[in-house]
Amino acid sequence: MTRTVDQTHDPGLTSWVDSANRPEGDFPIQNLPFAVFRRAGSGERFRCGVAIGEQVLDLAALGAARPFEGLAARALSACAEPALNPLMELGGEAWRALRQGLSQVLREGSAHAAHAAGALVPQSHVELALPARIGDYTDFYTSIHHATAVGRLFRPDQPLLPNYKWVPIAYHGRTSSIGVSGQPVRRPHGQLKAPGAERPRLAPTERLDYELEVGVLIGAGNRAGEPIPLGQAEEHVFGLCLLNDWSARDVQAWEYQPLGPFLAKNFATTISPWVVTLEALAPFRSPWSRPSADPQPLPYLEGAEIRSAGAIDLALAVWLETAAMRARGVPAQRLSRSNFRDSYWSIAQMVAHHTVNGCNLRPGDLFGSGTQSGAGSGEAGSLLELTAGGRQPLELTGGETRTFLADGDRVILRGECQRQGFARIGFGEAAAIVLPAA
């Protein structure tokens, strides 16, 4: 089920692209994440690329040299399209063949270095688009720490509902408002009802929040009526990105019963442009476990491979840059850190549960992991948790405070994987600035 470590993960590998060999960089040769790009301001057709150091390898341009044969060649040909979907639908064997080939092309001493050098574009010179055509978006709720903290704010007598430990809870989101990192987010309007008020009013949200999540992009799909077994679930996952599920907490508090989130969530979702493949994440797998006192998963969500390596050691962080910080030239301030390995439900369990009723997934479908919070006080993945529902303002650099987001605030999500004996890899960032309400 889980990917295996191979020679593409060798920490001794170096690239003829010098910037890929810097230990602090997100995109060494051991990573090779995919995105969709074109030269900024060019009007060119978007196409697929791979990050290598501070450069983007134009896969359409590389394909013109026909460096590969067989399945790798077929996969490279699919990358000339303006979305990753054609590559995604080819399946895991094609993705792995392409990764192996790109690793050979980009490593020091490659016979293809001269031609590939002509297919490089500096990342500072590109415009990045959504990496895939996203047909459907499902947002899960996989952090028990987040679920408990939020439940405690709204239901002190029963913070965690009885089904949480049995069911990977999720709701269906909106794809039309998913944007790529760098696109601004406008403060939304919605119905607000103050405590004690007789009737709600329509107004801009006063409690705008972020949610630190991991995005899961589906590769090959399944036929309607044919569930994906747990042991095959990750063969249907192309890769991961960062995801910010923007939330209007005052709108949410009034509207969410009985059917859950609606206008409080559907106005904006921001994802990072780089998709880190599960192949690249193979060295960072971790055991998945469930406290022995908790209910153990039903058989269709249980397996030895999940227990041994179902989690991913992915460190996550949220940073905030206010308008005042930008004006003073002060760097963004980190608000919290957490780790995806602490998720109560794994990626494979999300896929298996989503399809157990016969639901058909398609290439490019997006899952959100739900807010990733840890057990510690500095590990909350939202302001709702960090400020105890707005009752305990955060103190920021320069004397500013925040309970929820202000206009001009820029929220930045970052992620990285590090483990002794392997190269560090990063996810880039998912960032957006808050604009005033229309």
Using CA atoms, how far residue 202 sits from 187, 189, 194, 409, in Å, is 13, 7, 11, 23
**Marked catalytic residue, from 9, 145, 146, 354:** 146
Separation in Å, CA 34 to CA 131, 184, 280: 8, 23, 11
Kindly give, in sequence order, each residue whose CB lies less than 8 Å from that of residue 296, ignoring residues fewer than 6 positions away.
290, 302
Active site residue 145: no
Q: Which residues are catalytic, by number? A: 146
